[in-house]
Structure 1
Amino acid sequence: MRADSTTTFRSLYPPIEPYISERIPVSGGHEVHVEQSGNPHGIPVLFVHGGPGGGTSPIQRRFFNPSKYRIILFDQRGCGRSRPHASLENNTTQDLIEDMEAIREYLRIKSWVLFGGSWGSTLSLLYGQAHPDRVRSIILRGIFLSRREELDWFYKEGTRSLFPEAWARFSGKIPEAEHDDLIKAYYRRLTEPEFERERLTYAKEWSLWEGSTVTLVPDEEQRTHSVDPVFALAFARIEAHYFLHQCFLECDDQILRDASRLKDVPITIVQGRYDAICPPKSAWDLAQAMPWASLKIVPVAGHSAFEPGIQHELICATDAI
């Protein structure tokens, strides 16, 4: 049932601990952190986190019925508990897709459910298009298709109109002469040796901009987490690296172009109506390219997976599989 004024929103499942947590060596000198919780014999589900560079957290286990699911969380290259921390070397979208396959093979899983939001929706779709026979279902939230119009929305002419005070702070750290490309300007300061002493300062500002826009109602806890030094350094460096290279896609509309590769995979799309980071147009465009998918636009919600209405729809979707 859809959540409305007469419906009680679903709450997260109770906290659980992993029954195994390990780092798996992958290509290019990286090790990715992988944890498993829930039922070892249950339906395998892979939580694909956002960012790029966001990492995972214990609360993300709680979208899934632990008696039904074998819950797998992994930190993508360079972030969370994966190593080397904040590394951009050998860190591309194709590398991440190969890492997901390496995890699946290592865990001896034939096929699994993918659960991804924001950048996690991008990566889930790209992995599914590369390996459709390995995916039994996909649940997506806050759609990001890695198109130029989406990057321009968040780093040029869109979100700034809704959060002018946060934008003033974010853009104000960069000389006005470089305001035509803030992604490039921040990338320089997050990677080049001449800015090494100020790197963490710029990382915090990059992260705070996103942390200030992620929820419909201001969330001070989210803002505080966004400027944690360990989190911010990986998040900012990796995200700027990916966005500067338009997430290493072959072309601007690659995901929509290859939509038919997932025609046999059930797909649920959950989208906040007032998502200021990934506006609903992208979810709509994806649903038009995938008419077999179910699109649920949550009327009172922003970008976060923990908006009450979005959380409700996501848990309903995992329960329905």
Structure 2
Amino acid sequence: MQGGSWGSTLALAYAQAHPQRVDALVLAAVVTTTEREIRWVTEDMRRIFPAAWDRFAGAVPVHLRGIRLVDAYATLLADPDPAVREDAAREWCRWEDTHVSLAPGHRPSRRYEDPEFRLVFARLVTHYWRHAAFLPDGALLRGVTRLAGIPGTLVHGRYDVSGPPDIAWDLHRRGPGSELRIIDDAGHGGAGAFTDAVVDALDRAVDRPR
């Protein structure tokens, strides 16, 4: 079973709920969608990208200020006015593209040029983030011991500020028999060595004797 970024949260949640259905796990750009992680991406990361964050926060109208940014954006993205929804989606995705930008050679993602994609992406992210993936806080880290006997590989970028490497590290330390590969020239995903590491882990998972 493979998952990257938000998909790693889904993969972990499924594997812990149904370990008998999972032969191996390959997780990339690992996140567990805890309250701490959501607060880091939407609030605390101003410390790294202050100008971009001020734009992100400043796009919220006055009447929604004072509540969590993830809640404010979820509200805007559900507004009956299409223009309000479009503006919120554009600003959310602009921030998304900023906080994955630390890796050398980063280029803005062209997928955010598509208005339909922007809206769907932003609504999905804010829906699950405002509810911390509908999981008890820290449940995926506590539940990793249920995966004993299931081979797991975690691939994470050294420059991943969106999901700092301590998330993958803590899962690895608690995960029985897991393997952690930190890619020194990668961020939150990417090509080159990061992709090679994921493909290698998938190949080994497929070739593993059942």
User: How is 1:302-317 mapped onto 2 (pairs within 5 angstroms)?
Assistant: 302-304=187-189, 306-317=190-201
Q: 1:311 to 1:179 in 2, by over 3 A?
A: farther
User: How is 1:14-53 mapped onto 2 (pairs within 5 angstroms)?
Assistant: none
Q: Structure 2 CA distance, aligned partners of 1:179 and 1:309? A: 42
Determine which structure has the larger helix proportion and give its number.
2
Q: Structure 1 CA distance, aligned partners of 2:204 and 2:86? A: 43
| Deviation for aligned residue 1:285 | 1.1
| Deviation for aligned residue 1:218 | 5.4
CA deviation vs aligned residue, 1:284-304 (integer Å, no higher than 9, x gap): 111121031001111221102
Q: Which has the larger radius of gyration?
A: 1
Which residue, 168, 175, 200 being the options, matches 1:290? Answer: 175
What SS does the aligned partner of 1:313 have?
helix
Structure 1 runs, 4 residues or longer, greater than 3 Å off: 217-221
Which residue, 121, 139, 152 being the options, matches 1:267? Answer: 152
Contact kept, 8 Å, 2:145 with 2:176, in 1: the verdict is no
User: How is 1:72-151 mapped onto 2 (pairs within 5 angstroms)?
Assistant: 114-151=1-38
What SS does the aligned partner of 1:171 have?
helix
Determine which structure has the larger strand proportion and give its number.
1
Aligned residues: 203
| Deviation for aligned residue 1:173 | 0.5
Q: Give the alignment's TM-score, normalised by structure 2.
A: 0.89
Q: Structure 2 CA distance, aligned partners of 1:218 and 1:189? A: 33
Which residue, 81, 96, 104 being the options, matches 1:210? Answer: 96
Q: Structure 1 CA distance, aligned partners of 2:74 and 2:131? A: 11
CA deviation vs aligned residue, 1:75-112 (integer Å, no higher than 9, x gap): xxxxxxxxxxxxxxxxxxxxxxxxxxxxxxxxxxxxxx
- For 1:163, the equivalent position in structure 2 comes to 49
What SS does the aligned partner of 1:214 have?
coil
| Deviation for aligned residue 1:161 | 2.4
RMSD: 1.8
The AA in structure 1 aligned to 2:159 is Y
Which residue, 46, 56, 60 being the options, matches 1:174? Answer: 60
Percent of residue pairs bearing the same amino acid type: 38
CA deviation vs aligned residue, 1:150-208 (integer Å, no higher than 9, x gap): 111101113x2222332232122114671551111111101132x44321111111112
Where structure 1 has 5 or more consecutive residues not aligned to the other structure, the ranges are 1-113
Q: Structure 1 CA distance, aligned partners of 2:94 and 2:179? A: 33
Where structure 2 has 5 or more consecutive residues not aligned to the other structure, the ranges are 206-210
Q: Give the alignment's TM-score, normalised by structure 1.
A: 0.60
Q: 1:145 to 1:314 in 2, by over 3 A?
A: same
